[in-house]
């Protein structure tokens, strides 16, 4: 089907032209409403008027940034990679990925499960909501999605075939390269720096050690193709309630370093922890966050190694190639590398959120300017430390211990 | 054009159906002869009968291993990557890559310059021929092909676009993964182990440290996409005389780690050096080889850094991102990493040539069995050292000094 933009009037005829969706809704009268908070794409809820629980989400990419308008072109093919990633992640760990009912790469459209009982995790964390199973859920999500798209699990041909499906997502990779690893640490028109932290921003722009370390992380992001990443795994890409956790919006999906998704998640938990010194001042909530970081990482690591122990033959390790003691030694340094890299990427993600175009509501949403600036400075200090020192850290509690010492 | 296999009777009509080639040969009567030593492909020389200098090479891939026959299928699409790589390398450093007159991916055919005054470098080195400009030529070849296909030179979109053109060469990458990094170090039906070195082969099969290091190298080969590599850059892929040097046969081309091509070349020079303890016993020739290894590497490094200094803006380094002192520090660790990795890959390449399916004529061609076994053992010992110790080495003379200590 040739591409066209679905406005509200075209959505119902489009849906009813597709067998699966027609049988989903039956003969019910339908209503369409736009969800206003899509930054990049148009997102609609389609419901049966007489049965509001019978509802689906339709998401369509347009060849520009939705939030900025047609003057800001962005390839709509990003939806191709979102669709591919959703389908693959859904196969690998269905419990934490919405069901996809229909996908159409040519139309840049995906139709999926409506998560009506879940909210964006960032908003929940701003309100200091505890999610008791989040660490367990996301530890497993990370282990399964990363391990099972890596050379530790796939055959050589399967891995390169999968890479071929994502190597075209260059435009979105370039956005990350610019806005996470580059622009925030130099004079750049896109930066949004709070005047109250300009001295700290300037110090970072002149910090050679920080920049050398940042180049190392950026190089790794660009040239290390460990596994299929979500590519933008912050707390705004997670729909959650106290029982369930779903990962959405993988349009940045590409083959990159193991630590990038892990680091993104850790960074956003750390920023929430920082924000609550100013927001709730709820020490119990902050303790829960620190514990969650540790449990999340340990759960990831345990599950990753469990999957590894079950994988007898992969692109990397031919059955019988290495004895258990040798393998254990290799795994130890392999896992340490993932940990360090994750902390380094977490640092980059934290810094860019203080200086660059895209802040996080947890911190930038703090209304009182001096309170906000205190949070920004604290976050920047943590991020800088992680970028510069991640190669000296060897376990996840090195991070939580460091944070506990901060105040 | 649909694919068909060109036998000798079909070649001239095929050539004359192509404008460029028809005008190259004019109305001359042509003769076709097969070059018998193609392992993978059919290779023909086409000459004007009355002007033997007017000649071209036609190379066609068939959907199997030429040397082994139709029972050994191998995707003929390998020629697609050879063509693409030849054309790119020819643009980057035309002096050391044959001219391509015509290429046809659908027919898996390339027609190129006939290098009638050059021989395969391996054969020249077996005869102890000195090539005074080889180190200079290949240092420049490596610097230009590696630097200019990397994130240090291309934009992010250019780099990923180029990667997209090579990610499909999975079958040949898998061959390297098996035959360089895996099979030779375990019980494997494809191995060809000289009974006289079986104790050494067995020791290696049981050496945990060696295997852990080998997994690290293999992982890097599979997951590090620094630059477009030749992929099989041994002295059999070089056509040479005392004045000119040409690189041929890049069908293994893919995006991989910087050090892999460098390591392949260093490995083959080292093996020639080893072989001459048994062959010529010519100490001057051996000294020339050691000096060549050092000059080759230093020339590569110097030229690579020169190109870097001329590159103001790349995917990795935005203009103005980092001050010169910071950049110099980053470059220092970057170049050290390439050196170490190159030596590690050299080690893997040396070891596999002693134990695996594909030996090198320099050593396996030594006729007296005990003499040959001495060379094999020495090579294996050097290769093992490089695989295990490359992370402790910091300059190319660490290798030449180590070799000088051997006897």
- Is it the case that residue B36 has pLDDT exceeding 90? no
Answer whether 0.90 is exceeded by the pTM. yes
Confidence at A71, pLDDT banded by 50, 70, 90:
confident
Per-residue pLDDT tens digits for A337-378? 999 999 999 999 999 999 998 899 999 999 999 999 999 999
Phi–psi pair at A21, nearest 5 degrees: -80, -35
B229-235 mean pLDDT: 98
Per-residue pLDDT tens digits for A45-56? 999 999 888 999
**Segment (H or E) for B70:** strand B69-73
| DSSP string for residues in B229-297 | E-S--SGGGEEE-SS-EEE---TT-EEE-THHHHHHHHHHHHHHHHHHHHTT--HHHHHHHHHHHHHHH
**Three-state DSSP class for B33?**
strand
Which chain A residues have a beta carbon less than 8 Å from that of B155? 174
User: What integer pLDDT is reported at residue B326 of this predicted model?
Assistant: 94
Confidence at B71, pLDDT banded by 50, 70, 90:
confident
Per-residue pLDDT tens digits for B252-302? 999 999 999 999 999 999 999 999 999 999 999 999 999 999 999 999 999
**Segment (H or E) for B53:** strand B51-60
**Three-state DSSP class for B82?**
helix
| DSSP string for residues in A41-108 | SEEEEEEETTEEEEEEEEEE--SEETTTEEEEE--TTHHHHHHHHHHHHHHH-GGGSPPEEEEETTTT
B7-26 mean pLDDT: 92
Query: What is the rounded CA–CA span in Å between residue B68 and residue B78?
Result: 16
Judge whether A8-113 and A119-404 match in fold: no
Per-residue pLDDT tens digits for A298-341? 999 999 999 999 999 999 999 999 999 999 999 999 999 999 99
Beta bridge partners of B47: B31, B55
Report the b/e string of B99-109 with b at 16+ CB within 10 A.
Answer: eebbbbeebbb
ipTM of the complex in this document: 0.95
User: What integer pLDDT is reported at residue B381 of this predicted model?
Assistant: 98
Per-residue pLDDT tens digits for A233-255? 999 999 999 999 999 999 999 99
- Is it the case that residue A295 has pLDDT exceeding 90? yes
Answer whether A190 touches B (CB < 8 Å).
no
Domain A8-113 has CATH 3.30.1360.180: no
The Cβ of residue A66 has, within 10 Å, a number of other Cβ atoms equal to: 17
Residue where the block lists tokens 């071929």: A164
Which chain B residues have a beta carbon less than 8 Å from that of A155? 174
- Is it the case that residue A38 has pLDDT exceeding 70? no
B130-157 mean pLDDT: 98
Query: What is the rounded CA–CA span in Å between residue B290 and residue A397?
Result: 49
Interchain CB distance below 8 Å, B330 and A186: no
Query: What is the rounded CA–CA span in Å between residue B258 and residue B272?
Result: 23
Query: What is the rounded CA–CA span in Å between residue B11 and residue A117?
Result: 69
User: What integer pLDDT is reported at residue A37 of this predicted model?
Assistant: 65
Supply the mean pLDDT for chain B.
95
The DSSP bridge pattern shows strands B100-104 and B69-73 to be unpaired
B178-193 mean pLDDT: 95
Our CA-based measurement puts residue B57 at a distance from the nearest CA of chain A, in whole angstroms, of: 32
Per-residue pLDDT tens digits for B338-358? 999 999 999 999 999 999 988
Tell which residue, B376, B382, B384, has the closest CA to residue B406.
B382
Domain ranges of chain A: 8-113, 119-404
Per-residue pLDDT tens digits for A373-398? 999 999 999 999 999 999 999 999 99
**Segment (H or E) for B42:** strand B42-48
Answer whether A72 touches B (CB < 8 Å).
no
Please name the residues in contact with B384: beta carbons below 8 A apart, sequence gap of 6 or more.
Answer: B204, B207, B210, B347, B351
* Closest CB from B163, B186, B322 relative to A321: B186
B217-232 mean pLDDT: 98
- Is it the case that residue B402 has pLDDT exceeding 80? yes
Question: Which residues 206-245 of A have a C-beta within 8 angstroms of B?
Answer: 208-209, 211-212, 215-216, 218-219, 222-226
Per-residue pLDDT tens digits for B72-128? 888 899 999 999 999 999 999 999 999 999 999 999 999 999 999 999 999 999 999
Residue where the block lists tokens 């679905």: A6
Is the separation of the CB atoms in B283 and B289 below 8 Å?
Answer: no
Query: What is the rounded CA–CA span in Å between residue B151 and residue B205?
Result: 37
Q: For chain A, percent helix, then strand, then coil, each to nearest 5?
A: 55, 15, 30
Answer whether A174 touches B (CB < 8 Å).
yes
Answer whether A317 touches B (CB < 8 Å).
yes
Tell which residue, B289, B159, B291, B287, has the closest CA to residue B225.
B159
Is the separation of the CB atoms in B168 and B77 below 8 Å?
Answer: yes
Report the b/e string of A352-385 with b at 16+ CB within 10 A.
Answer: bbbbbebbbbbbbebeeeeebbbbbbbbbbbbbb
User: What integer pLDDT is reported at residue B37 of this predicted model?
Assistant: 65
Tell which residue, B351, B354, B339, B335, has the closest CA to residue B398.
B339
Lowest pLDDT segment from A87-96, B64-73, B183-192:
B64-73
Strand order in the sheet with B245-247: B119-120, B238-240, B245-247
Tell which residue, A99, A176, A93, A98, has the closest CA to residue A138.
A93
Pick the CATH number of B119-404 from 3.90.1200.10, 3.40.47.10, 3.40.50.300, 3.30.70.260: 3.90.1200.10
Query: What is the rounded CA–CA span in Å between residue A137 and residue B302?
Result: 50
User: Could you tell me if residue B108 is left (phi over 0), alpha (psi between -120 and 50 degrees) or otherwise beta?
Assistant: left
Answer whether A73 touches B (CB < 8 Å).
no
């Amino acid at each position: 089907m040739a591409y066209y933009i679905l406005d509200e009037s075209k959505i119902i005829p489009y849906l009813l032209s597709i067998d699966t969706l027609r049988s989903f809704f039956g003969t019910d009268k339908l209503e369409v409403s736009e969800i206003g908070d899509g930054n990049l794409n148009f997102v609609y809820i389609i419901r049966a008027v007489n049965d509001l629980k019978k509802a689906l989400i339709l998401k369509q990419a347009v060849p520009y940034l939705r939030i900025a308008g047609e003057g800001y072109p962005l390839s709509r093919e990003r939806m191709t990679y979102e669709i591919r990633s959703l389908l693959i992640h859904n196969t690998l760990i269905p419990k934490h990925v919405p069901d996809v009912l229909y996908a159409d790469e040519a139309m840049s459209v995906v139709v999926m499960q409506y998560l009506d009982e879940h909210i964006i995790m960032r908003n929940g964390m701003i309100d200091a909501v505890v999610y008791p199973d989040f660490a367990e859920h996301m530890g497993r999500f990370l282990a399964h999605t990363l391990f099972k798209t890596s050379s530790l699990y796939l055959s050589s041909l399967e891995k390169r075939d999968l890479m071929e499906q994502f190597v075209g997502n260059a435009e979105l990779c370039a956005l990350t390269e610019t806005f996470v690893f580059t622009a925030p640490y130099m004079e750049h028109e896109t930066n949004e720096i709070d005047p109250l932290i300009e001295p700290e921003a300037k110090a970072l722009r002149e910090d050679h050690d920080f920049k050398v370390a940042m180049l190392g992380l950026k190089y790794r992001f660009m040239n290390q193709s460990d596994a299929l990443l979500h590519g933008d795994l912050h707390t705004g890409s997670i729909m959650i309630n106290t029982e369930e956790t779903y990962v959405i919006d993988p349009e940045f999906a590409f083959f990159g370093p193991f630590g990038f998704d892990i680091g993104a998640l850790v960074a956003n938990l750390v920023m929430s922890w920082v924000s609550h010194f100013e927001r709730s001042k709820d020490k119990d909530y902050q303790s829960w966050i620190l514990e969650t970081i540790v449990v999340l990482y340990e759960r990831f690591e345990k599950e990753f190694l469990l999957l590894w122990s079950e994988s007898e033959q992969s692109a990397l390790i031919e059955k019988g190639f290495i004895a258990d003691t040798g393998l254990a030694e290799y795994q130890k340094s392999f896992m340490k590398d993932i940990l360090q890299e994750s902390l380094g990427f977490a640092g980059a993600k934290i810094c860019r959120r203080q200086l660059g175009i895209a802040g996080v509501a947890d911190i930038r949403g703090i209304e009182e300017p001096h309170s906000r600036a205190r949070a920004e400075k604290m976050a920047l200090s943590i991020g800088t430390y992680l970028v510069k020192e991640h190669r000296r850290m060897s376990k996840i509690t090195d991070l939580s211990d460091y944070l506990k010492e901060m105040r």
